[in-house]
Amino acid sequence: MRKKVSIVGAGNVGATAAHWIASKELADVVLIDIIEGVPQGKGLDLLEAMPIEKRDSHVIGTNDYADTANSDIVIITAGLPRKPGMSRDDLLATNYKIMSDVVGKVVANSPNCILIIVSNPLDAMAQAAYRQSKLPRERVIGMAGVLDSARFRTFIAEELKVSVENVTAFVLGGHGDTMVPLPRYSTVAGIPITELMSAERIEQLVQRTRDGGAEIVKYLKSGSAYYAPSAATVEMVEAILKDKKKILPCAVYLEGEYGISGYYVGVPCKLGSKGLEQIVEIKLTAEEDAALKKSAAAVKELCAVIGV
């Protein structure tokens, strides 16, 4: 029996994630949205692409949560997107209401699922989903670090004119202005980028990574990024469904790791069939540790506003 992934929110991120999952033949996909007709139309369109892609993934669109029953993974992208001039945090109150409603319906139909949260502000929404779902922390994971690391890798590869396949990068902390890219753990074919470019240039790339989402919002004017966010989400889905034990930076609920307790913060995680299987603790410099604690404090502030 094929695996089943449901995606809540049939907007650009959700629909594009459905596209990646179906085209990789990772699972059957259920695309659900409150708007009538949109998930059905996009689901059918995607299903009709499968003969061309030579994939037997089944895709449906629906407005009924009963169709999501017994999902292995549920991706939650639902919520308002950012508009120019908006921070991720501006979305807080509205998206919190949406998240609370969605999570209850999802868990009622798929009590054994793993939740991947994509809605912004990411860390606070993951925290809200964790509290609402009452699932163990291993099964509520936020997507942020994979995307932020991919942006950092893109900029490093462009700067050094090397294959993106040679570039690894690590970004920790919250998904926003306080994220913590780690240049000394970011490498090209195993060589730290600190040996390949100046500190000043690295700092410029780090800042561009922090501003990565805003840069795209500014261009699009009426929406936010969706190709890279959805691809990042699907990398997590694939690691879980294939039990790859892949180490990826994800937002997870910390219980003392990195000296942080009680909040979702981005750290290196091993993902496998059980969801979060291990948090990898790496040694941080005093400066990096301070930046991570500052990032956690920013998450704490948002969580306090919505009381989670």
Question: pLDDT 10s digit of each residue in the chain, 308 long?
Answer: 899 999 999 999 999 999 999 999 999 999 999 999 999 999 999 999 999 999 999 999 999 999 999 999 999 998 887 677 767 677 788 899 999 999 999 999 999 999 999 998 899 999 999 999 999 999 999 999 999 999 999 999 999 999 999 999 989 998 878 889 999 999 999 999 999 999 999 999 999 999 999 999 999 988 889 999 999 999 999 999 999 999 999 999 999 999 999 999 999 999 999 999 999 999 999 999 999 999 999 999 999 999 99
Give the CA radius of gyration of the chain.
19
Question: Do the strands 180-181 and 171-172 form a parallel or antiparallel pair, or are they unpaired?
Answer: antiparallel
CB contact at 8 A, 18 and 31: yes
Task: Give bridge partners of residue 267 from the DSSP assignment.
Answer: 250
| pLDDT score at 88 | 62
What CATH fold (topology level) applies to the domain 4-142?
Rossmann fold (3.40.50)
CB contact at 8 A, 48 and 89: no
Catalytic residues: 175
> Rounded to an integer, what distance in angstroms lies between the CA atom of residue 146 and that of residue 274?
19
Distance of CA 106 to the CA centre of its chain: 18
Residue listed under structure tokens 């090209």:
188
Query: Using one digit for the tens of pLDDT, what is the confidence trace for 135-164?
Result: 999 999 999 999 999 999 999 999 999 999
| 145-306 placed in CATH 3.90.110.10 | yes
Task: Give bridge partners of residue 269 from the DSSP assignment.
Answer: 248, 279
Distances (CA, A) of 7 to 10, 24, 72, 186, 209: 7, 16, 11, 32, 27
ω before 121 within 30° of 0 (cis)? yes
Helix (H) / strand (E) element for 23: namely helix 12-23
Q: Domain-by-domain residue ranges, the chain?
A: 4-142, 145-306
The reply to whether 145-306 shares the fold of 4-142 is no
Here the tokens at position 105 are 């319906």
Query: Using one digit for the tens of pLDDT, what is the confidence trace for 163-186?
Result: 999 999 989 998 878 889 999 999
| pLDDT score at 185 | 93
| pLDDT score at 80 | 80
What's the N-to-C CA distance of the chain in angstroms?
Answer: 37
| pLDDT score at 82 | 66
**Interhelix angle 286-306/92-109, nearest 10 degrees:** 80
* Torsion angle of the four alpha carbons 83, 268, 96, 111, in this order, in degrees rounded to the nearest 10: 130
CB contact at 8 A, 6 and 32: yes
